[in-house]
Amino acid sequence: MKRDTNALDQALQSLFEKRGYPGIAVTIRGPEGILFEKGYGYRDVEHQLPADTHTIFGIASMSKSITALCCAILATEGKLSLEDPITKYFPTLHIPGIPDECVTLRMLAMHRAGLPPMEPLEWSIAKNSRERDDDWFRRMAAEAPNQMDQIGQIVDYISAGNYEPLGMPGEYMSYSNEGYALLSYVVDQAAGIPLEQFMKERIFDPLGMTRTVLDLDGSEARELSGGNITSLFERDKDGHLTQDDSWSVLPPFRGCACVKSTASDISRYYKMLSDGGVWEGCQVIPAEAVDLLIGRSFPTEERPYYCLGLEKRLIAGKIVCDHSGGLHGVSTKGGFIEGGYGIAVLCNEGDVSMEEFQWICYNYILGLPLETTHRWAEPNGSTFSMPEAIQGDYLAKEGIPAHCTVWQENGKLVGIYGETEVEFRYCGKTVFAAYSRKDPAKRCSTMEFYIRNGQAWAVRCYTRIYQRIDG
């Protein structure tokens, strides 16, 4: 297949300029090696220092698949089983209303343990990070019941039961950082060495990921970087770019979001997964471990299905597995396409989407028009027959936005998602796409409502379930 690298570069450059981000780095690997790698913009805007594919960024929640792979490796060695109840490792942990034996490592890794979105991750960031001049930061720090720097505090919070479980394990998928916090410490126990060391020895070193490290505050990453590490950027309320070096520190959530790496290194990781654990002709990760991560036991369809730390779906008939990430000054997307392709897109501005950049890379590999989108749900122009059922107020205790409110106005379903006024466009069944009313071309979320006894009790916004709070 002949690929137009110049067209790829122009498409990425055009999108980068349109979005106005400070810097991004993109690497695409294939069976023949590096197909494309380039940095755009700056790792340090103030000093005009360029970003490149060896610049160290935070990868945030892309860390989760690496933690899940650690569990899978240990499973192949008989040091743990994915069917182990979490109480084997945390005897005092209890989710109210759910039998202890049902909450397995597999359910946690798939975000299907019944846990709703919770506050501890944001409390941990606010209590342990270098303070920033931010209303959210100050509010979270004030609300936190303790320092939130020990896994035992997470266990105690879950066990206290000040929340409504979503259902029985396996019933609903809702993204849970607490689940991966627990898995991080499961690896410590099963491996007999810290998760940080296990990742380095069993994954990073065999893959030659020499600029990748799991650390909390970026200190080890700075030492590895030789000065080529990004600053972190956000937008203030007026849309102005702010720059700092204040990494989010969240001690008990280290396996959730604390890996620092480069586009070049992370593309190695994803290419290895695409090749079933093989890197440069050597089986560096057991094929069985990769299969546990994303294998035949998980469905393959156009709608994404969350496996162990990765979402799996079909694009143009090819299996694609990927994951995004986001923290202060961090927005990422990475994944692989079957056939030996690994892709990484890393950005140094927080709370922005790398999805469109990733799609361009996928299209380049697959020979599709570079502007092709790959959403699994699109508005179909028809009208939902039960609008009254989904009107109401929904809440998730983790994340911004945390509220979703739905009502009818002039015969249309509208509402608020976070702080954005949105219009809900029907996609089929109980699925809607939420678009900004101010900018009708801007898609804010894909939402699926869960209806019971004629009324929605929850809505899933992308990967998190918001529960109804208005009765």
The rounded distance, in Å, linking the Cα atoms of 194 and 398 is 27
Token output for 440: 């009708």
Residues 314 and 420 in one domain: no
Question: Is the pLDDT score of 382 beyond 90?
Answer: yes
Residues 349 and 417 in one domain: no
As a whole number, mean pLDDT of residues 223-244 equals 95
The rounded distance, in Å, linking the Cα atoms of 272 and 258 is 21
Would residue 97 count as lying in a domain? yes
Question: Is the pLDDT score of 321 beyond 90?
Answer: yes
Residues 62 and 156 in one domain: yes
Residues 131 and 69 in one domain: yes
Token output for 311: 């979402």
pLDDT, tens digit (0-9, with 9 covering 90-100), for 73-82 = 999 999 999 9
What pLDDT is recorded for position 2?
79
pLDDT, tens digit (0-9, with 9 covering 90-100), for 410-464 = 999 999 998 899 999 999 999 999 999 999 999 999 999 999 999 999 999 999 9
What pLDDT is recorded for position 132?
75
Partners of 436 in beta bridges: 422
Token output for 35: 């197909």
Residues 229 and 328 in one domain: yes
Would residue 381 count as lying in a domain? no
What pLDDT is recorded for position 350?
95
Crossing angle of the two packed helices 287-294 and 63-76, in degrees rounded to 10: 130
Question: Is the pLDDT score of 95 beyond 80?
Answer: yes
Would residue 242 count as lying in a domain? yes
Residues 368 and 395 in one domain: no
Close Cβ partners of 6 (under 8 Å, ≥ 6 residues apart): none
Would residue 28 count as lying in a domain? yes
Would residue 273 count as lying in a domain? yes
Per the structure, the complete domain to which residue 398 belongs is given by: 387-468
Residues 365 and 395 in one domain: no
Would residue 292 count as lying in a domain? yes
In the predicted model, what is the mean pLDDT of the chain? 96
Question: Is the pLDDT score of 470 beyond 90?
Answer: no
| pLDDT band (50, 70, 90) for residue 134 | confident
Residues 324 and 399 in one domain: no
pLDDT, tens digit (0-9, with 9 covering 90-100), for 343-357 = 999 999 999 999 999
The last residue of one of the domains, among 350, 376, 402, is: 376
Question: Please, what sign has the CA dihedral across residues 418, 424, 426, 429?
Answer: positive
What pLDDT is recorded for position 161?
94
Q: Give me the CATH number covering residue 445.
A: 2.40.128
Residues 281 and 356 in one domain: yes
| pLDDT band (50, 70, 90) for residue 251 | very high
What's CA 25's distance to the chain center, in Å? 18
Q: Give me the CATH number covering residue 175.
A: 3.40.710.10
Task: For residue 433, report the phi and psi dihedrals to the nearest 5 degrees.
Answer: -105, 130
What's CA 27's distance to the chain center, in Å? 19
Give the rounded percent of residues in the chain with a pLDDT score beyond 70.
99
- Closest C-alpha among 341, 343, 345 to residue 333: 345
The rounded distance, in Å, linking the Cα atoms of 440 and 422 is 9
The rounded distance, in Å, linking the Cα atoms of 318 and 341 is 11
As a whole number, mean pLDDT of residues 164-185 equals 97
The last residue of one of the domains, among 376, 395, 412, is: 376
Is the distance from CB of 31 to CB of 340 less than 8 angstroms? yes
- Closest C-alpha among 164, 180, 171 to residue 96: 164
Residues 31 and 120 in one domain: yes
Question: Is the pLDDT score of 214 beyond 80?
Answer: yes
Give the rounded percent of residues in the chain with a pLDDT score beyond 90.
94
Q: How many domains does the chain have?
A: 2
Cis peptide before 401, with omega less than 30 degrees from 0? Answer: yes
Say which DSSP state 204 is in.
I
Question: Is the pLDDT score of 197 beyond 80?
Answer: yes
Task: For residue 388, report the phi and psi dihedrals to the nearest 5 degrees.
Answer: -65, -30
Question: Is the pLDDT score of 136 beyond 90?
Answer: no
Would residue 394 count as lying in a domain? yes
- Most confident range, picked from 44-48, 141-145, 238-242: 44-48
Give the DSSP per-residue string, 46-57: TTTEEP-TTSBE
Partners of 413 in beta bridges: 408
Residues 372 and 395 in one domain: no
Residues 186 and 158 in one domain: yes
pLDDT, tens digit (0-9, with 9 covering 90-100), for 47-56 = 999 999 999 9
Task: For residue 249, report the phi and psi dihedrals to the nearest 5 degrees.
Answer: -110, 120
What pLDDT is recorded for position 368?
97
Would residue 96 count as lying in a domain? yes
What pLDDT is recorded for position 133?
73
Token output for 44: 């340090």
As a whole number, mean pLDDT of residues 64-83 equals 98
The last residue of one of the domains, among 356, 376, 396, is: 376
| pLDDT band (50, 70, 90) for residue 171 | very high
As a whole number, mean pLDDT of residues 314-342 equals 97
Crossing angle of the two packed helices 287-294 and 263-274, in degrees rounded to 10: 100
| pLDDT band (50, 70, 90) for residue 369 | very high
Question: Is the pLDDT score of 151 beyond 80?
Answer: yes
